Chain A
Amino acid sequence: MSQLQYFLALVAGGLATAALAYSFVTPFEQALLLKAFLALGCLSLIRFFVPLGLWVDGALALLGAVAVLTSIGAFVPPLPFFWMAVVVAWLFAWLFVERLSKSLAPRLSDNAGLGLLIPVVFGAALLVIWEVVTRGANVPPVLLPAPSAIGAQLANSAPILWADFVQTFIKSVLPGFAIGCLSGLVVAILVDRSPFLKAGLLPIGNFMSALPIIGIAPIMVMWFGFDWQSKAAVVVAMTFFPMLVNTVAGLNASSSIERDLMRTYAADYWQTLLKLRLPAAGPFIFNALKINSTLALIGAIVAEFFGTPVVGMGFRISTGVGRLAIDLVWAEIAVAAIAGSAFYGVIALIERGVTFWHPSVRGGRA
């Protein structure tokens, strides 16, 4: 056991013992599960004499989560030992993740499933604490609703959320992203080809990227109307420049020997572009795609604050805040976060397939 694990185990066990002693002030049959958890936590101190497997800590963390979640309403207001139990459960979860990551480390590189286990445990722990704190301490839902309330809202308003998702993501983000990235790529190739365009277009692109989105969004609404077209236009404006700059840099990424080689074959411009310079620019282009995947969603949502039909994620957030329907706002944020991460994840996966040869992907030497 490492020093940190030793310390965590000691504090978790000790705190469980103290909380168990404290819990005797309440009637025995009240919050039995919580007390059972504390008793087991106290028992876990025998690990200093008999080694315990890491799954024991996992089971304890799980039991603790269930125990604190089910006994939130048992005492009003919650007694201090309830909060101690929350901390104990959290410490066991920490200890579990700590031991898990240590024991998995050698196997992580070749198994993506195991690599996902740790973030999942970590995220679940975070949700449990969020739930317990918001409900246990009676945090006003307007400030921060409990995850369960957000989840319920997600389920109840699924049709609304889906319509918003279609409006914002499918209609605004995807076309805007495609047009912005593609035109950035094409213009980069033109800029690369012509020194005149390089001198003329790059500074204009730079200027465009400095335009504040809050400024261009209302203008785009005036130009392209209230519906998704104006949002897509904002997304185009946001995604164009990162793609332009990255591709221009990427087209120069091939080495002079690699380009001389093409010259010795008397390869023409297009052959050199397609067989050498674009493949060599791949990692740069995918960087731009990844940056743009998050930028695009932000752009579309913010743009909807400036005029929109009565549907869309940005519309729902801005009106939700106004109507104090904070659950719905959080549900919308959750949808946006999931959609954004999934979009990024898909691009990252494609990147792994396409630029498999790059040292950063295959994890080898150059």
Chain B
Amino acid sequence: MTSVVSATNLGLTFKTNDGDVVALSDVNLTIEKGEFVSFIGPSGCGKTTFLRTIADLERPTSGSLTINGQAPERARKDRAYGYVFQAPALYPWRTIEKNVALPLEIMGYTSAQQAERVKRTMDLVNLAGFEKKYPWQLSGGMQQRASIARALSFDADLLLMDEPFGALDEIVRDHLNSELLKLWDRTGKTICFVTHSIPEAVYLSTKIVVMSPRPGRVTDVIESDLPGERPLDIRETPEFLAIAARVRDGLRAGHSYEEAL
């Protein structure tokens, strides 16, 4: 069976007016079907760039990367993944239901199929009843849930999420985290999740990829042995704290604070 994501010696260098910026260097990683993988690290560590490279929004400059055994561009054209951005990016001239249907319209689903899938995904993210609202009439948390529904509507097996809850307050964030876990459990999707919050990464993931900047690279890959069933108060258990401590160590090792200051 092929891995969902497989990166070998992956590198990406941006050419800028100030010279080359090494965004990713020598990244080796495989992600298997059904995993929940978090990418964590300080700003500039390349976690978002890596996600964008998987999505074929950036082109790697060295090494190889395959999605379901295919080149990223092929995978994108096959609609192999759904992408959730930092901002909801719902189109304000469309109702929530029309926003969720947007990828379905583009991919040529019939209107009956569209209606059925919109209903299913809206239920999945607990947004039933808000179909006819416009994005600006919803709270930030609800907007981000709508954008998750949009990414799920065409039922790609891979879900790429780039700090989806970064702009939300902590209470809403906790709530959406536990909903996301349930959703992952129900759908069995492979999820790549970028965050800069240690508790969020540990709480959600089966695998945590710790990254560090200058150049962007992977410094540690932690397999989490937390149980699949995770109530929010699991965050006070010793097992949870042990993993969190290891993530923190990994971040510290990869990043010299004296140098940064």
Contacts and interface: CB of A to CB of B under 8 A. Distances in A.
Interface of A: 255, 257-258, 260-267, 271, 275-276, 279-280, 282, 355-359, 362, 364-365
Contacts of B134: 357
Contacts of A266: 76-79, 106
Contacts of B87: 255, 257
A346 B93 CA distance: 21
B110 to A, nearest CB: 17
A362 B136 contact: yes
Given A265-B106, A266-B77, A279 B91 contact: yes
A264 B55 contact: yes
A275 B106 contact: yes
A261 B89 contact: yes
A282 to B, nearest CB: 8
The 4 A-B pairs at the shortest CB distance, nearest first, are namely A357-B92, A264-B83, A257-B89, A357-B93
Contacts of B86: 257
A255 B89 contact: yes
9 contacts: A255-B89, A257-B89, A261-B89, A265-B106, A279-B91, A282-B93, A357-B92, A362-B136, A364-B136
A356 B135 CA distance: 13
A352 to B, nearest CB: 13
A280 B89 CA distance: 12
Contact of B85 (A260, A267, A359): A260
A275 B102 contact: yes
Contacts of B85: 257, 260-261
B83 to A, nearest CB: 4
Contacts of A263: 56-57, 76
B105 interface: yes
DSSP majority for the A interface?
helix
B92 A358 contact: yes
Interface string B55-78: 111000000000000000000111
B93 A264 contact: no
B89 A265 contact: no
B55 to A, nearest CB: 6
A261 to B, nearest CB: 6
Given A275-B102, A362-B136, A264 B76 contact: yes
A362 B55 CA distance: 35
A215 B86 CA distance: 54
B203 interface: no
A36 to B, nearest CB: 56
Most B Cβ at <10 Å: residue of A275, A282, A358:
A275
A357 B57 contact: no
A276 B91 contact: yes
Nearest to A279: B93
Interface in B82-139: 82-83, 85-87, 89, 91-93, 102-103, 105-107, 134, 136
Given A257-B85, A258-B89, 9 more contacts: A261-B83, A261-B85, A263-B56, A264-B82, A265-B103, A266-B79, A275-B106, A280-B91, A282-B93
B187 to A, nearest CB: 18
B140 to A, nearest CB: 11
Nearest to A264: B83
Contacts of A267: 106
B50 interface: no
A250 B86 CA distance: 24
Nearest to A260: B57
Nearest to B52: A260
A258 B91 contact: yes
B36 interface: no
Nearest to A282: B93
Contacts of B92: 357-358
B184 to A, nearest CB: 20
Contacts of A359: 136
Contacts of B91: 258, 275-276, 279-280
A255 B85 CA distance: 12
Contact of A365 (B77, B107, B136): B136
B81 interface: yes
Contacts of A275: 91, 102, 105-106
Interface string B160-198: 000000000000000000000000000000000000000
Contacts of A262: 106
A258 B79 CA distance: 17
A106 B193 CA distance: 48
Nearest to B137: A364
B48 to A, nearest CB: 11
B89 A357 contact: no
A264 B57 contact: yes
A262 to B, nearest CB: 8
A305 to B, nearest CB: 43
B151 to A, nearest CB: 8
A271 B106 contact: yes
A219 to B, nearest CB: 42
A355 B79 CA distance: 31
A262 B57 CA distance: 11
Nearest to B154: A265
A209 to B, nearest CB: 30
A283 to B, nearest CB: 11
A260 B85 CA distance: 9
Nearest to A258: B89
B79 A265 contact: yes
Contacts of B103: 265
Nearest to A263: B57
